[in-house]
Amino acid sequence: MLKDKEFLQSLNRFILASQSPRRADLLKFIIKDFTIQVSESEEIIDPRLNSQQLVMELAKEKALEVSLNNKDAYVLGFDTLVILDGQPLGKPKDKKDAFNMLKSLSGRSHLVVTGCAIIKGDYVDKFSDEAVVTFNKVTDEEINEYLETGEPFDKAGAYGIQGYGARYIKEIKGDYYSVMGMPLQKLYNKLRRL
């Protein structure tokens, strides 16, 4: 087994199939050199799949699309869902939608599930991780103040735990990085075994 430093320097070519700057920043903790190619695959929600299956399948579709033109690289795809009362909350469509999402999360706990897929040629590995996040009670004024930051509009559930949204988080049970969109420890252990 290679030492961690040798392992990081010996990695094959990797591609991150995501436009998320948060995921790119997190991946730098594991992989020194990688490129980014944004997947254009359409996210189709299959109601027959549970949350874990769904995020893994969506992550796989994103990675697969990029992998088709990059057979010699390991392609990493991700997908994150915020689940409240058994229903997924995606990225808000507009300001009103973001407000309603945040209002529904106020003072309650919800599940965040992140799926990952690693694909190279015929090699496919999928896995997921999850965390339970509890919000403090948030007033309408606080929600509107948060919306003015612009942060909620490109994030599932309309909040970023690593940004201004952190001030509304009461508790996290599970992997913080999975809430950010990348199950860092699980991914690192998977890549070590490639």
Q: Which has the closest alpha carbon to 160: 18, 19, 16, 20?
A: 20
Q: Domain with 62 in it: what CATH number? A: 3.90.950.10
SS3 of 44, please? coil
Cα atoms in the 13 Å half-sphere on the side-chain side of 136: 12
**Structural domain tally of the chain?**
1
Give 177 or 32, the one with higher predicted confidence.
177
Instruction: Indicate whether 45 pLDDT > 80.
Output: no
> Can you give the pLDDT at residue 4?
56
The arithmetic mean of pLDDT across residues 108-114, rounded, is: 97
Tens digits of per-residue pLDDT, 121-141?
A: 999 999 999 999 999 999 999
pLDDT at 1 over 90: no
Return the active site residues.
79
Across residues 182-186, what is the average pLDDT? 95
Q: Count the helix, strand and coil residues of the chain and give each as a percent rounded to the nearest 5.
A: 40, 25, 35
pLDDT of residue 3: 53
Of 85, 82, 28, 76, nearest to 54 by C-alpha is 82
- In degrees and rounded to multiples of 5, residue 145 shows phi and psi of -65, -40
Q: Identify the domain containing residue 38 by its residue range.
A: 4-192
Residue 167 reports pLDDT greater than 50 = yes
Average pLDDT for residues 82-96, to the nearest whole number?
Answer: 92
pLDDT of 113: 96
Give per-residue burial for 10-45: e unless 16+ CB within 10 Å, then b: ebeebbbbbebebbeebbeebbeebeebebebeeee
Contact between residue 52 and residue 113 where contact means Cβ atoms under 8 Å apart: yes
